[in-house]
Structure 1
Amino acid sequence: MESGISRNQNAYHKSNALADLVGDFHVVPLATSLSLAFENQLPTLKLPLPCGQTAPKNDEMAALVSRIWQAFNPPRPAKTSNALKFGILGAANIAPLALINPAKSHPEVIIQAVSARDRKKAEAYAKSNGIPEVKDSYQDILDDPNIDCVFIPLPNGLHYEWAVRAIRAGKHVLLEKPSVSNAIEAEILFKLPELSKPDAPVLLEAFHNRFFPAWAYFRSLINSENVAHVSSSSMIPWWATSKNDIHFNYSLAGGTMMAMGTYNFSALRLIFDADPEECLSCDTKAFDDGVHKNCDYEFKAKFRFPGGGIGEASSTLKGGTILLPSSVTVTNKEDVIPDNTLPTSQKKVLLRELTLYGLVHGLFWHRIDVKDVFEIRSKNGEVIKKWEEKNTHKVYTFKEAGGEFADLPGEVYWMSYRHQLEQFVNRVRGRKTQHWVSGDDSIAQMKMLDMAYEKSGLGLRPTSTYR
């Protein structure tokens, strides 16, 4: 095992001051989405909502305001005597949204300590977020026997090393996505011998959106065997990122595919319930200078899945001025619907398209559209009659989802991060978990990212030398 600071960590130390703001652009869509919702209530502005949506009604706006207010001002139950104590590696801007705030409403979670490269910054961060302890280094958190779990929101290029260190220190790990820099690191991390022991630490790649009720309900509407095509997109406005952000530092495993794009890739894999066989194309716009070289700021990729299904994903960190919601659209194969009222010379065909708007941050706003196009066709394929039926769903709680989900835990103000924390704690406690991201899943996700980067010509993100 190497000691000291790895090559990637040295790069981090030399990077722009924004390096600590890992995940910062994740916060921007939330505020912007909310602003758009409010602004559309002002007739003088008349801003169009993304995707042609109409402005929310007054009761919808009231529910939105209440939901978001409670999300950031949740009830604070008394902590249990054996509550899990978390340490945070890095004074990251994403941590309040991803862990600190969700922990307030969880009786079994305490945010105990934080460390950062700059102790003064860590002290200010701790004071601002009500964290009782500040450690001198990341390693000091791992060495503290009173810390049960660690959250790692460091730059991508540091995920692998500090996750390995944490697992070997016996800590449970909540690891920001993407889990690591490439599939080489993923294979090592998720197959560590320590993870196969009876009392193994819990390791979870924090794909928070996969724990939200709307995503679970959306997937329940889909039969993977019937899927012909899936497309998923996301974007961050140009003004929300800077070329000097860590997201555009190659040595820190930067790039749009590693950032927002990984949500889109994950959606394709889960909808098809399979891993891609080939990346057919991956067109990118990328920087070609200095530490930014080979970092994509925009991409569009196409994959072939088993059975011939096609998946397309696109994202940009340099998008237009107005935020558009992340989305995933599923097009099913044609389905012949039995209809005894038709003569034998005719058949009824269904073409279904399902779309989830608000793939990444469903609590702020989401909508599920189901569009069914029916056709009555003659034997020679002539369309005799055609009509369309549409249904819309919003699912902020599992109770609203109903059916198999009705009894799952959750409140209307729980963000995807709070749902994720619930499952993480359940797994640590040895309780049943309804949703999870397995190690094999995380490895497959990195293989898909590698496949796209290789096809693009930009190459894999650098592999850590730490072992």
Structure 2
Amino acid sequence: MASTVSRVFTAFGPPTIEKKSDAIKFGILGAAKIAPLALITPAKSHPEVIVQAVAARDRARAEEFAKKHGIPDVRGSYEEILDDPKIDAVLIPLPNSLHFEWAVRAIRAGKHVLLEKPSTSNANEAEILFNMPELSQPKAPVLLEAFHNRFHPAVHLFRSFIKPADVVHVHTDSMVPWVITAKENIEFNYNLSGGSMMMLGTYNFGLLRMIFNDEPEKCLACDTSIFGDGIHDKCDYAFKAKFRFPNGGIAEAMTSLRGSLLWKPSEARVTTREIVIPDSTLPSTQEKLLTRQVTLHGFIHAFIWHRIDVKDSYVICNKANRQPIKTWVESKSHKAYTYKDAGGEFTSLPGEEWWMSYRYQLEEFVNRVKGRKTQYWVGGEDSFNQMKMIDMAYKKSGLGLRPTSSFR
């Protein structure tokens, strides 16, 4: 327990280290609640990142935000940050409906972009954004959809226990207690591209795509819960969706922004098909079969707490009639707060037990900006396919796609 408290305490209050002379200077567009987690806090322990400036629609709010978080400069508008040649990169934590416009503006201004998820309001916007000609030029700006959880070592260790072709079923769920999300919040504003699939369910969808290492063929069902008051009736506060993937596997995603007060960590539970395990000790008339279930508890904020449970169910049976002779179960739990813990291909990657998933993400973002090798990355095609999956679910639900920006 003591180590957990120490790790979480350090994650939210990391050591501040000396910055290099060529550190990337960030500007933040909007004094958003997510900005400290997404950038300000992880930047403290990164020698190549300086949070230099912030702008907000209300300058007084930006000044208060800057004072609270030790940001040197306050600008009067988002444009002033984009026009500043001393700013190298921007974080865009604006409402979903503004992601497309300000990401396009930032790229045209030559800024690297760390873009809060979901990247855009729909797949049409994503296709335009990630295919901007500026992104294919020499020394092009770096654009990353900030799917922080996908950079955490726990997610990659979890995936190492799964062979995508063998997956037959996946269940994912995530929630936040109802006291955190009021009706008036941007989460339930259709014009701001709100909805539980956009705000929280996108984590479920992203992990499903990682588990299958493929894109869904079809959304089989998508049931939503809405307030139905004539104002918020296009925004889901909860949903349950079912998808079919190319290997025939079924994936389910459940999310609620109005969950119970008793918070439950996000969960992903994978069941694989029964496979034959070679065993030379068995007579030729028998065979050993294995069915695996792998569960990742805490897939969104694994840096706070997570656990990976691997449950292997074995059967020895007669080949002729499949009659069981012996059955047993082997279970083991795992954790990985660093890539060294995770093992495999990423063992040599840097990291500390207290690093947030946002810190791991920032490490790779800086590597890409500096022209260094990145071990894991969320590319433009990946982000485009992510929005296609969200669109697929919204179409099936009957609520329709989130509105497209008129900006071009």
- TM-score normalised by length of structure 2: 0.98
Give 1:71's aligned amino acid. Answer: A
Q: In the comparison of the two structures, how many residue pairs are matched? A: 407
2:133 matched to which residue of 1?
Answer: 193
Give 2:228's aligned amino acid. Answer: D
CA distance in 2, matches of 1:148, 1:289: 45
2:405 matched to which residue of 1?
Answer: 464
Shift in alpha-carbon separation, 1:291–1:82, aligned structure 2, 3 A: farther
Contact 2:315 2:327 in 1 (8 A): yes
CA distance in 2, matches of 1:458, 1:448: 15
CA distance in 1, matches of 2:399, 2:358: 32
- How much has 1:346 moved relative to structure 2? 2.2
Give 2:331's aligned amino acid. Answer: K
Pairing partner for 2:247 from 307, 319, 324? 307
- How much has 1:342 moved relative to structure 2? 2.3
Give 1:406's aligned amino acid. Answer: T
CA distance in 1, matches of 2:13, 2:390: 37
CA distance in 1, matches of 2:352, 2:390: 34
CA distance in 1, matches of 2:343, 2:202: 29
Contact 1:173 1:201 in 2 (8 A): yes
2:72 matched to which residue of 1?
Answer: 132
Contact 1:260 1:315 in 2 (8 A): yes
Give per-residue Cα distances to partners, 1:297-354, cap 9 Å, x unaligned: 1111000100211111110001111110101111111011112222333221101000
1:426 matched to which residue of 2?
Answer: 367
Pairing partner for 1:446 from 387, 395, 401? 387
1:145 matched to which residue of 2?
Answer: 85
Contact 1:250 1:291 in 2 (8 A): no
Contact 2:346 2:375 in 1 (8 A): no
5 Å matches for 1:317-466?
A: 317-378=257-318, 379-466=320-407
Give per-residue Cα distances to partners, 1:164-209, cap 9 Å, x unaligned: 0000010000000000000000000000010010111000000000
2:50 matched to which residue of 1?
Answer: 110
RMSD (CA atoms): 1.0
Stretches of structure 1 that go unaligned for 5 or more consecutive residues are 1-60
Give per-residue Cα distances to partners, 1:246-293, cap 9 Å, x unaligned: 000001000000011000001111110110010000011123335422
CA distance in 2, matches of 1:73, 1:455: 43
5 Å matches for 1:54-203?
A: 61-203=1-143
2:211 matched to which residue of 1?
Answer: 271
- How much has 1:226 moved relative to structure 2? 1.3
Contact 2:53 2:81 in 1 (8 A): yes
SS in 1 for 2:302: coil
Give 1:187's aligned amino acid. Answer: E
CA distance in 1, matches of 2:379, 2:231: 33
CA distance in 2, matches of 1:98, 1:263: 15
Identity over the aligned pairs, expressed in percent? 65
More moved, 299-308 vs 379-388 = 379-388
More moved, 233-242 vs 202-211 = 233-242
CA distance in 1, matches of 2:375, 2:88: 22
SS in 2 for 1:76: coil
Give per-residue Cα distances to partners, 1:417-461, cap 9 Å, x unaligned: 000000000000000001110000000000000000000000000
CA distance in 2, matches of 1:150, 1:389: 48
Pairing partner for 1:316 from 256, 260, 264? 256
Contact 2:311 2:330 in 1 (8 A): yes
CA distance in 1, matches of 2:296, 2:148: 16
CA distance in 1, matches of 2:232, 2:104: 27
1:32 matched to which residue of 2?
Answer: none
2:155 matched to which residue of 1?
Answer: 215
Whether 2:180 is the aligned partner of 1:240: answer: yes
CA distance in 2, matches of 1:452, 1:382: 42
1:43 matched to which residue of 2?
Answer: none
Contact 1:209 1:215 in 2 (8 A): yes
Contact 1:158 1:252 in 2 (8 A): yes
SS in 2 for 1:307: coil
Give 1:127's aligned amino acid. Answer: K
CA distance in 2, matches of 1:464, 1:92: 21
Give 1:344's aligned amino acid. Answer: S
Give 1:465's aligned amino acid. Answer: S
Give 1:453's aligned amino acid. Answer: Y
SS in 1 for 2:199: coil
Give 1:193's aligned amino acid. Answer: P
- How much has 1:399 moved relative to structure 2? 1.1
Give per-residue Cα distances to partners, 1:48-96, cap 9 Å, x unaligned: xxxxxxxxxxxxx111111112112222221111111100011111111
- How much has 1:402 moved relative to structure 2? 2.2
CA distance in 2, matches of 1:291, 1:276: 32
CA distance in 1, matches of 2:342, 2:250: 28
CA distance in 1, matches of 2:344, 2:178: 41
1:12 matched to which residue of 2?
Answer: none
Give 2:174's aligned amino acid. Answer: S
